[in-house]
Copies of this chain bind each other. A is one copy, B any other.
């Protein structure tokens, strides 16, 4: 008997018919003798519908008070899902009970619309599991110290599932989604893209953070921190395929490098359109200037990604960084009101039409010249590189958005990702 966490995405929960299939699949695992905790997303389209209503009414300046109300509204999508799935399980004869984030409770900080999980109390869940019930927990949400509802931001249900698995010390966390695993890159852009049977935690972290939509990045961080065995697999296989087969399908995220079976230099190509670039031209080149610029941005709870500071001329330098595209206007506002007034002679420019393309691979650690091969391939296609950022296992370039598909296809071919590496 194992303790298993299942997570189902919005598409898998998209209709009562699909919810019934999820219930049948979960019941199959229960009949095999396992204890199940299930974290379903809101029905597909529901969160957008709710936020669409909110958008029609909300004030222009999105205050903390308004963000709190957005969470109040958006969190209901998952509450409906857990109730419906509990009913479907009960109809299958499988005892089940649902809990919201505040009922568990899943404790978070108070950063409404993008809260972070602080702790999960597992007592209530354990009690129900011991009583033979499937426990269904809302993803995406929690409760802060003041008793307000919080949400974790888009894709937060993955994080909830992994956090629950970590808190419960679950044997495995299975992320059922509308793709059947992690690919070398998005097959919609590169038809030859290949599914990986395993991927290392570090690579997955880079893939997730670089825009691969398969898993939400914080869920991967959580999985790494607490060493939660994590598997991404398809929710569109028939619910009644043999459990053994299902349990081995998809992509397993591994923690032991030695176990890594595929020794490619580069494992995958990640990309993200959701980027915007800000450049401050003529910044005084003095100690503390980076903090002076990025401190207020961080305080506004905006994630800065790639940061570049060019060499100085006459005591002045250019400072560029990228942010999520949705935060572009807000960053510009923060800089205009809080930073530029203290920096005479500095000009701000920006470009919301950029993208980031990255090569990711554990193998890069021990192979020189990988980045050079990337730059050469792009230059052969006359794609101009605007910014570069590197780590031990990835190299990212910021380029004009219109070249994104071309860059991804070029790099996929350059690193021969369409064919499986030699064992």
Contacts and interface: CB of A to CB of B under 8 A. Distances in A.
A69 B86 contact: yes
B16 A58 contact: no
Interface in A34-87: 50, 53-54, 56-60, 63, 65-66, 68-70, 72-73, 75-76, 79-80, 82-84, 86-87
Nearest to A20: B57
A38 to B, nearest CB: 13
Interface string A82-118: 1110111011000111101011000000000000000
A342 interface: no
**6 interchain residue pairs of minimum CB distance:** A73-B83, A76-B76, A72-B83, A59-B91, A16-B56, A58-B87
B90 A82 contact: no
Interface of A: 16, 19-20, 23, 50, 53-54, 56-60, 63, 65-66, 68-70, 72-73, 75-76, 79-80, 82-84, 86-88, 90-91, 95-98, 100, 102-103, 147-149
A102 B75 CA distance: 15
Given A82-B72, A147-B103, A59 B90 contact: yes
Contact of A97 (B65, B90, B97): B65
Contact of A98 (B57, B72, B82, B98): B72
A16 B82 CA distance: 27
Given A57-B16, A147-B103, A83 B70 contact: yes
A100 B72 CA distance: 9
B69 A98 contact: yes
Contacts of A69: 83-84, 86-87, 90, 98
A69 to B, nearest CB: 4
A58 B91 contact: yes
Nearest to A77: B76
A19 B69 CA distance: 15
Given A16-B53, A20-B57, A90 B72 contact: no
A148 B83 CA distance: 12
B79 A84 contact: no
Given A63-B90, A90-B65, A57 B84 contact: yes
A25 B202 CA distance: 55
Given A65-B90, A100-B149, 9 more contacts: A58-B90, A58-B91, A59-B87, A60-B91, A65-B95, A69-B98, A73-B83, A73-B87, A102-B102
Nearest to A91: B59
Contacts of A66: 87, 90
A59 B56 CA distance: 38
Contacts of A65: 86, 90, 95-97
Contact of A50 (B80, B82, B91): B80
Nearest to A93: B59
A57 B103 CA distance: 23
Contacts of A86: 65, 69, 72
Given A53-B16, A57-B19, A57-B87, A79 B80 contact: no
A147 B143 CA distance: 14
B88 A80 contact: no
A86 B60 CA distance: 14
A271 B296 CA distance: 65
A73 B83 CA distance: 6
A364 to B, nearest CB: 47
Contacts of A50: 80
A84 B69 CA distance: 7
Contacts of A70: 83, 87
Nearest to A88: B57
